[in-house]
Amino acid sequence: MWMDAQHNKAPMKSLFVLASAFTLLFAQTDPAQPVLASRTARILRIDGILFKDLNKNGQLDPYEDWRLPAQTRAQDLVSRMTLEEKAGLMVGPSLNPGPGGAVSDQPTYGTNPFNPGPPQLVSPATEHALHQLHLAQFIIRANLPPRQMATWLNAVQEVAERTRLGIPPLFVTNPRNHLGAGANFGIMEAASAFSQWPGTLGLAATRDAKLVEEFASIAAREYLSVGLRGAYHPTADVATEPRWNRFSETLGEDANLTAELIGALIRGFQGPALGPSSVAVVTKHFPGAGPAGSGFDAHFPHGKNQVYPGNNLDYHLLPWKAAIAAGTAMIMPYYAVPNGIAKEATGMSYNQEIVTGLLRGKLGFQGVVNSDTGISTGMPWGVESLTVKDRYRKAIEAGVDRIGGDATPELIVQLVKEQKLTEARIDESARRILRIHFALGLFENPYVNPDEAARTVRNKEFERKAGLAQRKSIVLLKNRDAILPLKPGVKMYIQGLDPTEAARHGYVSTASPEKAEVCIARAAAPSGGFMAGRSTRPIDLTLPAEQLAPLRSLAQKCPLVTVLYLERPRVIPELAQDSAALLATFGVSDEALFDVLTGKFAPSGKLPFEMPSSMDAVRAQLEDMPHDSKNPLFPIGFGLSYPTPAR
């Protein structure tokens, strides 16, 4: 059923257009009329223009009028909401699908994997979440095929449309587009369904802001197609401590490069301003989590301290200034306690000096402050002695608008009724939050086309662009005697690569390194996984003997080309010495790698961090200072190339 909306200036008259059980799209001839989609809400026709009657009262209310500014609509909607409905906006748990991607009618409970305690509600039942808890933002961690993801999220939006005010929820996600990134709760979602780009360190290695912005634009189109309208990224942390366990999520240790690329990422995801084709980003983790004491991460009790021995906070703020200038919709403070930059020893989300004083006051941020997941029960650093309810109070007083990961808005209601928080303060956060929903056009059309999702996600053109980024991200660190590019027809022994890819490029692989003219070994520096951060010993950046010894042995049998995947800087002087050629990668396919090895694509990547020469040099570094290790093996920005041969 399609209808035309014509704009005229006749006296306003309204007419109900009943929606069927299926999504109805309402087309338009007036360019100002947005496309509306409804499954249960009636459509009002007023002066030939169409609006959704979200609160079912048969008249056009200001918050339903798409012609008004987002701020005006948010102000009106907040004035119509109960305290309980407003409180529901201020928490944002995960939401899980039911079997087969259906709407789930069962809650999910679990313990915090980083700091175990009593089981907590992880994902509420959908009807309960929307109709009783009044929630309006959910973290989507499920890895479903695109068509199934779109169908599920559409069904959740239909449940929301039936609520008293018809507020559409915002679905946010951790990154999904990085090759080789497995699902890691709270950090990364699996990338297999979406276009496969190098990790963020690889994006930084390209030094190509235009390509990085294009990556974000493509990722946004994939997110949009399945109904994901928010991103729990990008990461603006400047990784000045090489032992930090979240180094791989960053753009490296240079604040100026990070600032340039953060701006590109935000523009790619959001566009010049939030609108119906935007994905709203949550830039994290303010004020920059890179200066982690001894590299320990703040997910764990022994890593709760963020330190500034070099008094270098301003350097870490450069990407945040760029993010705010680019219009980031939301910002996420970190768990850590700011040592030396704030008077109060409480985690960032509880610290009024950090959130209100620095972020809102000094830097002028006016958007939503969304806390990291689990601050109230899992990582309540500096407020461990407070009850969960009083932790809510302290975070909201500090300037936080939403408690990430939680599903207990009743605590906010209790705080207001006990006069520990004012309803005016709740209204302030509610307006900020709803402004984003209105700007994104969710109130007009929160639905997506599952068939279009299947056609969009990881299509050939997106994969082609991702492949280009993979090739541009590869960094050539050593090339003794110009062993690369590989000469045509050279006999090779390969380890950790697909032999069919070698054959496709015209090379014969042998079963024995002794019979080869060149050995190519693809290896990954072990990270131990994110949970390795539980250890109270600082991470050792050297390669373990069980990995290093076989590579050095292989180098004795034939000239060795080492391809090393890096999720952080590593101490590899022996491997660099023994290798005839050494390449650093950050998530590349065998096809992309062979294109560089054979000279079909000349290496152009540059290190986004320095490679230290020893662990003594690492330990002597200051956590908040960039590239300050003594006599680095490879300096930041290093990268060789070679001409592509005529073929």
Per-residue model confidence as pLDDT tens digits over 394-434: 999 999 999 999 999 999 999 999 999 999 999 999 999 99
Q: Which of 432, 416, 433 is nearest to 424 (CA)?
A: 416
User: Which DSSP string corresponds to 524-573?
Assistant: E-----GGGGG-SSPPP-BPPHHHHHHHHHHHHHS-EEEEEE-SS--B-H
For residue 581, what pLDDT is reported?
A: 98
pLDDT > 90 in the chain, percent: 87
pLDDT band at 113, cuts 50/70/90?
confident
Asked which of 3-7, 47-51, 276-280, 326-330 is least confident by mean pLDDT, the reply is 3-7
Q: Is 621 helix (H, G, I), strand (E, B) or coil?
A: coil
**What's the DSSP call for residue 37?**
E
Residue 87 exposed, middle or buried by CB count within 10 Å (0-12, 13-18, 19+): buried
* 557-608 tens-digit pLDDT: 999 999 999 999 999 999 999 999 999 999 999 999 999 999 999 999 999 9
pLDDT > 70 in the chain, percent: 91
Tell me the whole-structure pTM to 2 decimals: 0.94
122-156: burial string, b at 16+ Cβ within 10 Å, e else: bbbbbeebbeebbbbbbbbbbebbbbbbbbbbbbb
The partner residues of 493 in beta bridges, in order of sequence, read 519
CA distances, 559 to each of 483, 513, 578 (Å): 9, 10, 9
Right CATH for 71-456 from 3.50.20.10, 3.30.70.260, 3.20.20.300, 3.30.1490.20: 3.20.20.300
Q: Which of 310, 244, 316, 242 is nearest to 625 (CA)?
A: 310
* 306-320 tens-digit pLDDT: 999 999 999 999 999
pLDDT exceeds cutoff 70 at 294: yes
β-bridge pairing 16-17 and 42-46: antiparallel
* 238-267 tens-digit pLDDT: 999 999 999 999 999 999 999 999 999 999
Structure tokens at 481: 């005697």
Extents of the domains making up the chain? 16-60, 71-456, 474-620
CA distances, 285 to each of 19, 230, 547 (Å): 43, 16, 33
Structure tokens at 300: 């764990």
The answer to whether the CB of 170 falls within 8 A of the CB of 330 is: no
Class of domain 474-620 (CATH, top level): alpha beta
pLDDT exceeds cutoff 90 at 644: no
pLDDT exceeds cutoff 90 at 449: yes
For residue 530, what pLDDT is reported?
A: 64
pLDDT band at 14, cuts 50/70/90?
very low
Mean pLDDT of 172-198: 75
192 vs 146, more confident: 146
The answer to whether the CB of 216 falls within 8 A of the CB of 265 is: yes
Strand arrangement of the beta sheet that strand 581-585 belongs to: 475-479, 581-585, 560-565, 518-524, 492-495
Cβ–Cβ contacts within 10 Å for residue 175, how many? Answer: 21
Helices (H), 37-97: 70-80, 83-88
d(CA 4, CA 48): 8
d(CA 234, CA 280): 11
Choose the catalytic residue: 372, 590, 624, 628. Answer: 372
Mean pLDDT of 470-490: 97
Catalytic-residue membership of 372: yes
Question: Omega before 287 cis (within 30°)?
Answer: yes
Mean pLDDT of 441-458: 97
Cβ–Cβ contacts within 10 Å for residue 458, how many? Answer: 18
pLDDT exceeds cutoff 60 at 376: yes
Kindly state the greatest CA–CA separation across the chain.
89
Asked which of 191-195, 441-445, 460-464, 505-509 is least confident by mean pLDDT, the reply is 191-195
Mean pLDDT of the chain: 92
d(CA 147, CA 272): 29
The answer to whether the CB of 289 falls within 8 A of the CB of 347 is: no
